[in-house]
Structure 1
Amino acid sequence: MTSMGKTRRTMSVGLIGVALALTLAVPARAGETPTAPPAPGAASAPGGWQLTPTGTDARFRGLAAVDRRTAWAAGSKGTVLRTTDGGRSWRAVSPPGAGELEFRDVEAFDARRAVVLAIGEGEASRVFRTEDGGASWTESFRNTDPRAFYDCMTFFDRRHGLAMSDPVDGKYRILSTRDGGRSWTVLPDRGMPAALPGEAGFAASGQCLVSSGPRDVWLATGGGGTARVLHSADRGLTWTVAESTVAAGDPARGVFGLAFRDRTHGIAVGGDYRTGQPSPRAAAVTGDAGRTWRPSATPPPAYRSGVAWLPSAGRPGRGGQAALAVGPTGTDLTTDGGRTWRTVDTGSFDTVDCTRDGACWASGEKGRIARLGRPDTP
């Protein structure tokens, strides 16, 4: 979800202090969703979601924010878009002949190199890689096991990455690359705990598999009797498992998205994705690398599928406390590490990603891609 993984790394500049001084209640441009005013006396997120012109009605559940000017989006109908001008324009850079595929995740290293994941049973699950900004693509993996269904992927750095499939023979299947996505190998499952009956991952936001640092990775689950989070500290060879507090017990419920600002502090979001169904425990937090999870005291009011830490203005080595969660019914902000949340926007998004230089992006249905901030920022 971000350049080199779906992690939120700390910043040494004072961006977050400036960002939180801005208000989400900026006037909306034509065609934009008006933002909700901040609660009295509460800090607010920077600017507002500024919708960008994509020229498509594809649904973008895959998003990789590289920096303030560059982002990639991957979605339905085999669609891949790229911007290098801060969202003022988007270029269609889809792999040729991919119109029947459903792209649900994208990992981008810069403006030229990216890896996209198509989901589905059997050969519908594929991985493509580009080194020239999408001018050409190479298919580097095609699943040939009809029992496998790949959902998400993450990268630790420019070379090492993982992708995960729903359980095969009772265990999640992990795919590994050591060369930036040029080739992939299925890892042995000896160190993988057994899946629960009915348990699987959700390919809703590209955040069911996330990493932080050179070796730590987490996998989110749902659909079973308990919504769980699995953790590996050795790039997917061995795993431990912990129960989250996010609602489960139904195929439509569980943890849909994870974000770790470092290898210790993380947020899980989810709930029940069905329209109109309650999601009373839609977020949870951990301070011990996912060994234990605590429910948010004031969670988002509804199902959320994506979450991202905002860039930090804390002292070097210390992460910030602000994060955004998004879903079909709105965007929520926390400024206390995920313990309490408040809704700051009512527009529909599926996923969100922030960069170290202060840009946050969100994407979702009907071609919606937005950047957070003042419309005149470069």
Structure 2
Amino acid sequence: MRKKCYESFSVTGVANGLIFVIAMTVVISALSSCGPARQPQQMEYQDSKEDLFSVSFPTQKNGWACGRWGTVLHTTDGGIKWVNQDSGTDCTLSSIFFKDPIHGWAVGNSGTIIHTSDGGNTWEKQKSPIPFRHMKVFFVTPLKGWIASERTHILATVDGGRTWQLQFADDDFILKSISFCDELNGWAVGEYGYIYRTQDGGTTWEKQAGYFGFSKNSGTVVGDPFLFDVAAIDPQTAWAVGIDGQVIRTINGGASWVKVNAGASMTPFFCVAANPEGAIAIGGNGTFLISTDKGVSWEKPVFDPPVDYGWIYGLTGRGGSQFAAVGWHGSIYLSEGDHSLNSWHRVNM
């Protein structure tokens, strides 16, 4: 039986002095009421314009994206043409990850975890040990993976998701993202700037940063800027991004995190990714930036059409030096050329 969810999602920001309010905090809200179940779809992606929140390319040609109302899309030609796959759920899917063209996972609201072992021709539900919203899924092998979730929960599996175990839990905040560079070393980030690091595959997690409290003078909540995404490069190097133009990097395993000036001080950044050639890409609310010199300088590539009045929420490498990005109203952007990242085009649906 198809799981039904009624959900809302908004990406809006309001700046007021030093207080930056993002109405979503990239929260994909799962409400108690239900909507009508959709019929299975195997159609060209041309009529659907659901917001997309995540994209994964295990090879240069094969890619998947996911989003609102259980949307799962698949391409076999590098992103030129996309088709809908029947995910079996109407819950918003916040993250999708394929380790190879066969094995993939997607996670989302109400503890939703789905898995495919045939490239998405069929998706099957996997049991979650917690009912909370799952924000990010990441695998290092077809068997070993993790999920970052609400209430600072981290789930882990060593059997491809046949069983998921609660590996870590801390304060009642939302972990937005998780990333590993190998089977041992990884980071998770979330609300109020919280950063957790593991060097043993998640057996232990160490808090490296983050602050939450209340102002004695005003009685209001105070804390570090929210972090929305993290990309682990190697055991010593990782990047993280968040609201208020927050772009930070560690080159010593997280012993210290240094703020990098990307030139967009009030822009919320939702996603970060690196390609094998070392380029760093970050996307957010009306902004997209590229650095090819490890963050020393940043360029704003040309997007056709522009993303100034939209948002990019999902980002991934796409084989070699290329990237793919997804976001508002079903938008899918691909970088162009063999090595240049200065030109991007939107896939025509």
Bin of the TM-score, shorter chain as denominator length: 0.7 to 0.9
What letter is aligned with 1:107?
Answer: F
Compare relative contact order (CA 8 Å, sep 6+) and give the higher one, 1 or 2.
Answer: 1
Aligned to 1:86: 78
Aligned to 1:127: 113
Question: 1:20-54 CA deviation, whole Å, 9 max, x = no partner?
Answer: xxxxxxxxxxxxxxxxxxxxxxxxxxxxxxxx965
> Is residue 2:284 matched to residue 1:284?
no
What letter is aligned with 1:289?
Answer: G
SS of the residue corresponding to residue 135 of structure 2 reads strand
> What is the 5 A alignment of 1:24-63?
54-63=46-55
Normalising by structure 1, report the TM-score: 0.68
- Of residues 257, 281, 301 in structure 2, which corresponds to 1:293? 257
Aligned to 1:308: 273
Q: Distance in 1 between matches of 2:313 and 2:184?
A: 27
Q: Distance in 2 between matches of 1:324 and 1:111?
A: 23
> Is residue 2:287 matched to residue 1:330?
yes
Q: Distance in 2 between matches of 1:342 and 1:350?
A: 19
Distance 1:55 1:339, change over 3 A: farther
Identify the structure with the greater strand proportion: 2
Deviation at 1:260, TM superposition (A): 2.0
Q: Distance in 1 between matches of 2:157 and 2:51?
A: 27
Do the aligned residues in 1 keep the contact of 2:45 with 2:84 (CA within 8 Å)? no
> Is residue 2:317 matched to residue 1:351?
no
Do the aligned residues in 2 keep the contact of 1:264 with 1:286 (CA within 8 Å)? yes
Do the aligned residues in 2 keep the contact of 1:282 with 1:299 (CA within 8 Å)? no
> Is residue 2:211 matched to residue 1:211?
no
| Segments ≥4 residues shifted beyond 3 Å | 52-55, 142-145, 249-253, 297-301
> Is residue 2:119 matched to residue 1:154?
no
> Is residue 2:149 matched to residue 1:165?
yes
Question: 1:246-277 CA deviation, whole Å, 9 max, x = no partner?
Answer: xxx66994111111221211111111xxxxxx
Deviation at 1:157, TM superposition (A): 1.5
Distance 1:358 1:298, change over 3 A: closer
Distance 1:298 1:115, change over 3 A: closer
Paired residues, what number? 281
Deviation at 1:299, TM superposition (A): 4.3
> What is the 5 A alignment of 1:5-16?
none
> Is residue 2:158 matched to residue 1:178?
yes
What letter is aligned with 2:77?
Answer: D
SS of the residue corresponding to residue 69 of structure 2 reads helix
Distance 1:250 1:364, change over 3 A: farther
- Of residues 175, 186, 193 in structure 2, which corresponds to 1:201? 175
Q: Distance in 2 between matches of 1:144 and 1:201?
A: 14
What letter is aligned with 1:337?
Answer: K
- Of residues 232, 235, 255 in structure 2, which corresponds to 1:263? 235
Do the aligned residues in 2 keep the contact of 1:300 with 1:332 (CA within 8 Å)? no
Normalising by structure 2, report the TM-score: 0.73
Q: Distance in 2 between matches of 1:219 and 1:139?
A: 24
Q: Distance in 2 between matches of 1:59 and 1:163?
A: 21
Question: 1:202-237 CA deviation, whole Å, 9 max, x = no partner?
Answer: 3xxxxx111111211211021x3xx12110111212
Distance 1:340 1:240, change over 3 A: farther
Deviation at 1:89, TM superposition (A): 1.1
Q: Distance in 2 between matches of 1:210 and 1:268?
A: 10
Do the aligned residues in 1 keep the contact of 2:128 with 2:164 (CA within 8 Å)? no
Aligned to 1:140: 126
What letter is aligned with 2:232?
Answer: F
- Stretches of structure 2 lacking an aligned partner (at least 5 in a row): 1-43, 212-220, 338-343
Do the aligned residues in 1 keep the contact of 2:45 with 2:73 (CA within 8 Å)? no
Q: What is the alpha-carbon root mean square deviation over aligned residues?
A: 2.6
